[in-house]
Structure 1
């Protein structure tokens, strides 16, 4: 149980340590979130909003299950078997040809924009004027889009400006003019209001908007291509015939108008396709009626002439008895001859038929297979006509359709030939049977037989004429009652909220990004940062080495030296350092032996603050009443003179003492101006052989002088990694204060320190971390050394800065 609690405590500690760098930079998270939220709000304010319009239509008479409202006319044979798959209709709806019709009907090739200070928005509907383009822009070969700015100046004048082309003009409403080769004219849409009161006309003054509009004109093809790419058409369900349409545009009303007009244009196109077949059938029947009418007139004239020449009155009454048995065969012969005549005419019609002409339909033949083949042929011809409008003859789809049309035409001709031969065979059988009956009535006068032949021919021609008239009426009914192919299920509607940009997503993304950016920055900074930041970085690398103090980072306006009765954070940190150092000295039994301790202050490299630590540690001990000797042991790069009076850099010191027997140590010791208990021996002149000087026997004399005359000796030594000076005198030290600097000393340099300690090159090492930020003090103590120091909070400092407190 204790082990579990220990593990849990360690995990919590590790989690806190991992979160600590981020919690310390809470203000960075807040600043970044506020900044990105501000950017997001500006983006939402000035970004053009995109709205989505949706509609749905039902395609009738499709294999996917559409329902026809003309089913009641099916028994008349006027509907045929024309079916189209939903996939084909989707291709038609998304075609540029269909969208071009929509663009022309809504005049979308002319766009109007209202310019603001930061944002230009498109204006649609309820405009004070409209631009009419006279030229046909369907063929944009020589047409280039253009734009200019327009503003109404009076009831009749509108001003035009094109800054790019240095063009300006004032034109009248309704008066056409040419701009870049295109004839255009402005038409006002704001009308005067005339009120008649007591036979007087009161004309209200008209106010015009002060807005400046940018008018942009493009070709129909370019605009159609643009909106066709934005249009989304898909089946509502897999096996249904309902199609959903949607389009996105910055102007909601325009998007809705495009979808509604697209359904109208689709119905127009489908109705036109259906009427093409009906009109071609009517034309064919009219041609045949004219020919049959001539034949009928000729037969009737022959009958009249025959009766006149033979003085006949009622041949039918006289021959009724003899022809009773022949009635059945006559009926069948008439039917066969009728079909033979129609089949022959249809076969002749096909001989001169091209790929874009349709065959007569409406089941004019009694052969169901031929009628079905004709319907399939007409369907392919319609598809070929539609494909030819958007593609050339080299297109694979067009070539495939041509091949299918040719194949069906050959099949129809072959079927008609077989059908004609079967009719001829049938007629031959009927004639043979009729001849046998004629033999039974051979006593009938020749005149009666001739008359009957004339009447029979008259009946056949008359039947053909009546049949054609019937089919003409049926086709006319089909042409008159053609219903729209698409039924509108839902008219276009636009949601109140835009689809882009998404306000919640943008703001949420800004908040998330505002948290992620500083998190990633801190994480990468910590990941790439190889500098020491706090005491834990030191203790992890040197777990067996004493850590006796942290020196806070000073601001630019703070002094780096300690004075008497100093209550600053710096002074408190050195008091703690002095106390911890005394504990370490006590562990060495220095006080019981009455031996003056010698303390060496060193570091790994230059710039880590060993001189600052040496002087302030000396001052702290001197302030406690101890007599302190501070020796400038760094004779290669002296820095200790900074803490004495001006001009002290030229004073003699350690170098002169070690190199010459004529100097006594007391002659080179100078009293400090800051405290009478502190004496300083400077480094002196920079020698050419510093390592050899530290091997001099006078080093021991200098140490003994310090032990004899002072309570503690502190040596400001050279960096141990750069030179050997410190290692040469380290065995004379009782304690080695090793200084590292936060955010300066690399963590890898602690490896050198560890190796040096393990090799016993330095004795009784105690680590000190200099320049530590207040937030990084060893145990996470945010109060640091501020006890007893009256210090303004950040909020009070801010109020003082803005002079509110």
Structure 2
């Protein structure tokens, strides 16, 4: 046997694919496709019927520039890009700090669900009066309760512990329980609507809910050159999703407003602190002035000289202005030194140096940016470290500027003092008391003007605090689309339809790809075009009516064997001796139908008035006796081969009453050495003697793959009918029969395909085995 036999696959010889045949091959299973499509469409309908509807809610906001607020854009705006960093604003919008505020504002760590027959859907609120007792911050893990509303009361079940709380009325207010909430009916009218329903209450930790909300909300910029942001959230409840987005925008706006109010609040605090000291100093000056006048009996002083007084007054005004600036500079410098945490500084308190005012403004902006970045990122964040360094640099610059400014003022004051001393010579006649009184008046005036200035700045800061501009402009409040984004019916139905076609196609494709059985004549011709196929026997469902016992039958089975008997004549060699023609029926393995075909072929030949002898030469597994209801141990071929005194004619049987020209020689007793008996010469003698008495000799031989019985007597045949069975015979076994024919081990071989159309499925297994057992006759 060729070593390549076991690995040869019949499909290896296929070079071309007949698309029409392949299509017909799949369309044969159209009920599978229809059933699968209908099944998946029904499944899609049920899924769409009970799947939760997910809606998309969105809102749009414009981030306002702090330097612009709500003012209309100017011509300069067209040529100046906004300094808003949308990426930072997006991070702040979805920061845990903002989400925590939203969760607390809406109490999102408590969620409600209504349990239906098939699905459980989320609802915004319970149709009951609900009061939460447990503090949100005390919830560290998920706690769930199931509420069954019955006609006679309430049943509350702790899902984790399965503890049941029963109430005889529709309220828990009058019962002493350790439940973390209280519920009761809102009104008698609502009782009818909720009886028989089941609700779920879930308590979750604020942290987990905030983190979940953070992951759920999407923020994206609208366009590359725009300051607009789009906020998106998906959920089952439209109302709840809209509340979340609107609350998120409010909290973000409040956070921005709070940052802008920090400067005003710090200015107010600074001024309030200075008021305490100024009031004490003014009171002290007033008391000193009063005491000075009383002790010196001074009521009024007449000016000495108009010129001297004017020069002195002018000098005093300049000195007053410089001392005023020195005082403000000292106050601001002390505040900056005492400000160890680098907090905000008061702005616009009267310093006349524009560079210092610009530095104060830049310093306060840097502090606000630093605090904002710290709230959304860690201390090791490069952006945060950069902001901290910027604050420290500005603080150092401001310190140096104040020192320089103070030095300049001090130098100016010394110059003015020197001038005043020169002017004092011109008014030396003015009593010393007048000088002292003027000093007191000057100090009083300085403190009063400073007090009034701080009072004015305090009012300005209070006004700025009250009218702080918003940090965002809401372009669109939360809106929810009318149609759910999930599930999408057209996609689900299209997927179901496509799946209904692809699933059976894929299964069939795998079945066909893994199929190793032959199914008809085409499979044989693909392997061997030299050996003819002379017959195709249809599959017979009724196993009891498989014998062609009526010569006049017009059944499909009878016609197929008549066609086979006619085709057999074409392959038989032409002889002039008028002796019987010997036809062998064999197969590769057991179960391919050689006995079945042998009997019916012999009957088909007998029905045309030919004398036919059917010999059961399968001595190992005889089956002919089962079709004629004869005893298996009746004398037959084995008895003749073994016993030289036994006449084979004594073993002939008439198995079919309507076929008088049909004789059967059974196999006889099963011998221990069939091969030895078949080669002892008596089988050849039997064939030669029978040729003189019959027109056809049909020999039912043993399968060829495991035993050599058929090959030992194959030279006596005029033709060899080689049986293969559709949906049963392996394609690679054909190579073996082709090899037997090509090597001459079998003479004049022709194929017959048995059980054609037995099954539309190409998925029969491999469990028939290669053993040569004793069982089925087909």
Answer yes or no: same fold by TM over 0.5. yes
Q: 1:270 aligns with which of 251, 256, 273?
A: 256
* Residue in 2 that maps onto 1:147: 145
Q: Does 1:671 align with 2:669?
A: no
1:283 Cα offset (Å): 1.8
Kindly indicate whether the alpha-carbon contact (under 8 Å) linking 1:176 and 1:186 is maintained by their aligned counterparts in 2: no
Kindly indicate whether the alpha-carbon contact (under 8 Å) linking 1:601 and 1:716 is maintained by their aligned counterparts in 2: yes
Q: Does 1:704 align with 2:688?
A: yes
Q: 1:372 to 1:736 in 2, by over 3 A?
A: farther
Q: 2:24 aligns with which of 20, 25, 37?
A: 20
* Residue in 1 that maps onto 2:773: none
* 1:572-611 equivalent positions in 2, closer than 5 A: 572-585=559-572, 588-590=573-575, 594-611=578-595
* Residue in 1 that maps onto 2:120: 120
1:20 alignment partner, SS class: helix
Q: 1:515 to 1:284 in 2, by over 3 A?
A: same
- Deviations along 1:267-317, one digit per CA (max 9) or x if unpaired, are 2232233333322211211222332344345445555666674756475x7
Q: 1:185 aligns with which of 182, 185, 189?
A: 182
Q: 1:208 to 1:509 in 2, by over 3 A?
A: closer
Q: Distance in 1 between matches of 2:366 and 2:143?
A: 38
* Residue in 2 that maps onto 1:534: 520
* Residue in 2 that maps onto 1:717: 701
1:384 Cα offset (Å): 6.3
Q: 1:217 aligns with which of 203, 206, 217?
A: 203
Q: Distance in 1 between matches of 2:596 and 2:217?
A: 75
1:662 Cα offset (Å): 1.3
- Deviations along 1:195-225, one digit per CA (max 9) or x if unpaired, are xxxxxxxxx9975532332233333333323
* Residue in 2 that maps onto 1:781: none
* Residue in 1 that maps onto 2:87: 87
1:731 Cα offset (Å): 1.6
1:365 alignment partner, SS class: coil
* Residue in 2 that maps onto 1:802: none
* Residue in 2 that maps onto 1:160: 156
- Deviations along 1:610-637, one digit per CA (max 9) or x if unpaired, are 1111111111112222221111111121
Structure 1 residues 430-439 or 226-235, which shifts more?
Answer: 430-439
Q: Distance in 2 between matches of 1:178 and 1:353?
A: 55
* Residue in 2 that maps onto 1:227: 213
Q: Distance in 2 between matches of 1:172 and 1:731?
A: 100
Q: Distance in 1 between matches of 2:174 and 2:304?
A: 83
Q: Distance in 1 between matches of 2:311 and 2:270?
A: 37
Q: 1:593 to 1:188 in 2, by over 3 A?
A: same
1:407 Cα offset (Å): 5.7
1:138 alignment partner, SS class: helix
Kindly indicate whether the alpha-carbon contact (under 8 Å) linking 1:603 and 1:718 is maintained by their aligned counterparts in 2: yes
Q: 1:88 to 1:179 in 2, by over 3 A?
A: farther
2:530 alignment partner, SS class: coil
Q: Distance in 2 between matches of 1:751 and 1:665?
A: 37
1:714 Cα offset (Å): 0.8
Q: Distance in 1 between matches of 2:192 and 2:138?
A: 39
Q: 2:604 aligns with which of 588, 602, 620?
A: 620
* Residue in 2 that maps onto 1:792: none
1:525 Cα offset (Å): 1.3
- Deviations along 1:300-350, one digit per CA (max 9) or x if unpaired, are 5555666674756475x7665435456665555444333321221222223
Q: 1:650 to 1:174 in 2, by over 3 A?
A: closer
Q: Does 1:555 align with 2:538?
A: no
Q: Distance in 2 between matches of 1:111 and 1:220?
A: 12
Structure 1 residues 527-536 or 337-346, which shifts more?
Answer: 337-346
Kindly indicate whether the alpha-carbon contact (under 8 Å) linking 1:550 and 1:573 is maintained by their aligned counterparts in 2: yes
Q: Does 1:761 align with 2:745?
A: yes
1:471 Cα offset (Å): 1.1
Q: Distance in 2 between matches of 1:187 and 1:423?
A: 76
1:709 alignment partner, SS class: coil
Q: 1:556 to 1:509 in 2, by over 3 A?
A: farther
1:704 Cα offset (Å): 1.8
Q: Does 1:50 align with 2:51?
A: no
Q: Distance in 1 between matches of 2:538 and 2:348?
A: 103
1:388 Cα offset (Å): 7.2
* Residue in 1 that maps onto 2:641: 658
Q: Distance in 1 between matches of 2:35 and 2:151?
A: 50
1:468 alignment partner, SS class: helix
Kindly indicate whether the alpha-carbon contact (under 8 Å) linking 2:301 and 2:434 is maintained by their aligned counterparts in 1: no
- Deviations along 1:169-194, one digit per CA (max 9) or x if unpaired, are 33775838775574x3336544x8xx
2:536 alignment partner, SS class: strand
1:541 Cα offset (Å): 0.8
Q: Distance in 1 between matches of 2:608 and 2:268?
A: 126
Q: Distance in 2 between matches of 1:178 and 1:108?
A: 27
- Deviations along 1:737-782, one digit per CA (max 9) or x if unpaired, are 01111222111111111211111111111111112226879xxxxx
- Deviations along 1:702-754, one digit per CA (max 9) or x if unpaired, are 11222211111111111122222211222221111011112221111111112
Q: Does 1:107 align with 2:107?
A: yes
Q: Distance in 2 between matches of 1:256 and 1:294?
A: 56
* Residue in 2 that maps onto 1:498: 484
Q: 1:772 aligns with which of 727, 734, 756?
A: 756
* Residue in 1 that maps onto 2:766: none
- Segments of structure 1 that go 5 or more residues without pairing to the other structure are 1-9, 73-81, 193-203, 778-805
2:540 alignment partner, SS class: coil
Kindly indicate whether the alpha-carbon contact (under 8 Å) linking 2:305 and 2:427 is maintained by their aligned counterparts in 1: no
Kindly indicate whether the alpha-carbon contact (under 8 Å) linking 1:110 and 1:217 is maintained by their aligned counterparts in 2: yes
Q: Distance in 2 between matches of 1:176 and 1:273?
A: 48
Q: 1:279 to 1:219 in 2, by over 3 A?
A: same
2:131 alignment partner, SS class: strand
What CA RMSD, in Å, does the superposition of the two structures yield over aligned residues?
A: 3.5
Q: Distance in 2 between matches of 1:751 and 1:343?
A: 110
* 1:266-665 equivalent positions in 2, closer than 5 A: 266-299=252-285, 309=296, 311=298, 313=300, 321-325=307-311, 330-355=316-341, 357-362=343-348, 364-375=350-361, 377-379=363-365, 381-382=367-368, 409-435=395-421, 449-450=435-436, 452-556=438-542, 559-564=545-550, 565-585=552-572, 588-590=573-575, 594-647=578-631, 649-665=632-648
Q: Distance in 2 between matches of 1:444 and 1:265?
A: 68
Q: What's the TM-score, normalizing by structure 2?
A: 0.85
* Residue in 1 that maps onto 2:722: 738
Q: What's the TM-score, normalizing by structure 1?
A: 0.82
Kindly indicate whether the alpha-carbon contact (under 8 Å) linking 1:355 and 1:405 is maintained by their aligned counterparts in 2: no
Q: Does 1:747 align with 2:716?
A: no
Q: Distance in 2 between matches of 1:369 and 1:748?
A: 99
1:748 alignment partner, SS class: helix
1:697 Cα offset (Å): 2.2
- Deviations along 1:500-535, one digit per CA (max 9) or x if unpaired, are 222222222222222222122111112111111221
Kindly indicate whether the alpha-carbon contact (under 8 Å) linking 2:565 and 2:604 is maintained by their aligned counterparts in 1: yes
* Residue in 2 that maps onto 1:787: none
Kindly indicate whether the alpha-carbon contact (under 8 Å) linking 1:362 and 1:475 is maintained by their aligned counterparts in 2: no
Q: 1:244 to 1:616 in 2, by over 3 A?
A: same
2:118 alignment partner, SS class: coil
